[in-house]
Amino acid sequence: MSKRKITVAVSGLNNIDSPGPGIPVIRALKDSDFFEIRIIGLSYDTMEPGIYMHDLVDKTYQIPLPSAGQQSLLTRLSYIHQQEKIDVLIPNFDAELFNFIKLHDTLKNMGIDTFLPTLEQFEERQKWSLNTFGEKYGIKVPKSKQINSTAEIHALTHEFGYPLVVKGKFYDATVAYSPEQAMAAFNKISGKWGLPIIIQQFTPGIEVNLTGIGDGKGNLIGAVPMRKTYITDKGKAWAGIALEDETLMNIARNMVKGNNWRGGFELEMIKTDKREYYLIEINPRFPAWVYLAVGAGQNHPEALVRLALGEDVKPYESYESGKMFIRYSYDKIVDLKEFETISTLGEL
């Protein structure tokens, strides 16, 4: 079968100790049975390793930080599109998704397709709205609240008890065992990601995650559950194994059916010793371990591209459990001239 040639732009190239999903997404697209894909990397920092992985990324352009606003992003994307004729764009960072969602119609008119959650879907799964989300879709969620000042920490002893979890609005989570640790975590995370800070009740158990994709019509196109088998000090999975977990699959099916989820997502759950499942987070994009789904027989990024292009995509009927991923470090040797080029010209 001859493959259709397309150009896909992908962000999230920071393949470091807390990796972005961009490189795994690109690897999945390179494995596509339907497309021959030219990859355009979208970077925020000249030290993102994906910029220099020329076997995966054909060309990279720097784009403005999300805080620069939609107009700056649109101006830059218009230039990149003139040079590369992008067919599909896949953003992979939580912090950038709001701008891309708001630009959906404009990008569509330019000829750039995306397949992202709606603004309503994006907002209702925010960390500070998770309890309401759980009530709406019948999912158990640990008690949580948002705070905006360290002065509110003293009251948490009576309201939550310790340990508790201190979370940033986009990334980072720290288990605090005392008010002093909670205050230190508040200052560190808010200094990096801003306010509010989310306080969540600590729920002991095994963390199980699921990567999935919804077609925007209530159908779960694909889903693969995973249990972390090695976790870094940042709470990131450095190894994991695909599971057979029908309960978690049903939670994903019911959520997608209930809110017509559009695009990729990740459910982060805690399974207690009583076999109860608590939702601790929903990421509105593919996780950094999404390539495990490919290894298990479901190429979610490929399915997303097909959906973005308006193709009819049938749900995957199965996956192979017992497949593992093991992440590793790799020293990439880069010519200084390449670093200087991306730093000065904003493209490589």
* Cβ–Cβ under 8 Å, residues 206 and 270: yes
| 185 — pLDDT class (breaks 50, 70, 90) | very high
Q: What is the pLDDT averaged over residues 270-288?
A: 95
The pTM for the full model equals: 0.93
Distance (Å, rounded) from C-alpha 101 to C-alpha 72? 15
Q: Looking at the chain, how many residues does it have? A: 348
**Second-level CATH architecture of 4-114+331-345:** 3-Layer(aba) Sandwich (3.40)
Q: State which amino acid sits at residue 329.
A: S
pLDDT of residue 16: 75
- Using left for φ > 0, alpha for ψ between -120 and 50, and beta otherwise, residue 224 falls in beta
Every domain of the chain and the residues it spans: 4-114+331-345, 143-201
Burial degree of 230 (CB within 10 A; 0-12, 13-18, 19+):
exposed
Question: What are the start-end ranges of the H helices in 194-327?
Answer: 246-259, 291-295, 300-308
Average pLDDT over residues 324-339: 92
Distance CA 77, CA 287 (A): 24
Structure tokens that stand for 161 in this block: 């008890």
Range of weakest confidence among 81-85, 228-232, 244-248, 280-284: 228-232
At 64-99, the pLDDT tens digits run 999 999 999 999 999 999 999 999 999 999 999 999
How many whole angstroms from its chain centre is CA 120? 17
User: How many angstroms separate the first and last alpha carbons of the chain?
Assistant: 32
Burial class (CB in 10 A: 0-12, 13-18, 19+), 291: buried
Task: Please say whether the beta carbons of 122 and 131 come within 8 A.
Answer: no
| pLDDT band (50, 70, 90) for residue 1 | low
Q: Work out whether strand 164-167 and strand 237-242 pair parallel, antiparallel, or are unpaired.
A: unpaired
d(CA 102, CA 90): 14
Nearest alpha carbon to residue 98 among 134, 65, 50: 65
Helix residue ranges per DSSP H, 92-244: 94-102, 104-110, 119-124, 130-137, 156-159, 179-193
Asked whether the predicted pLDDT for residue 15 surpasses 90, the reply is no
Q: Which amino acid is at 84?
A: E
pLDDT of residue 25: 98
Cβ contacts of residue 185 below 8 Å, gap of 6+? 166, 174, 176
- Percentage of the chain beyond pLDDT 90 is 87
The C-alpha angle 30, 41, 43, rounded to 5 degrees, equals 145
Summarize the confidence of residues 217-239 as an average pLDDT.
90
Q: Residue range 279-303: average pLDDT?
A: 97
Q: How many helices (H) and strands (E) does the chain have?
A: 12, 14
CATH class name, domain 143-201? alpha beta
Q: In 3D, which of 170, 171, 303, 280 has the Cα closest to residue 228? A: 280
Please determine, for residue 2, whether its predicted confidence score (pLDDT) is greater than 90: no
Summarised one tens digit per residue, pLDDT across range 137-164 is 999 999 999 999 999 998 899 899 999 9
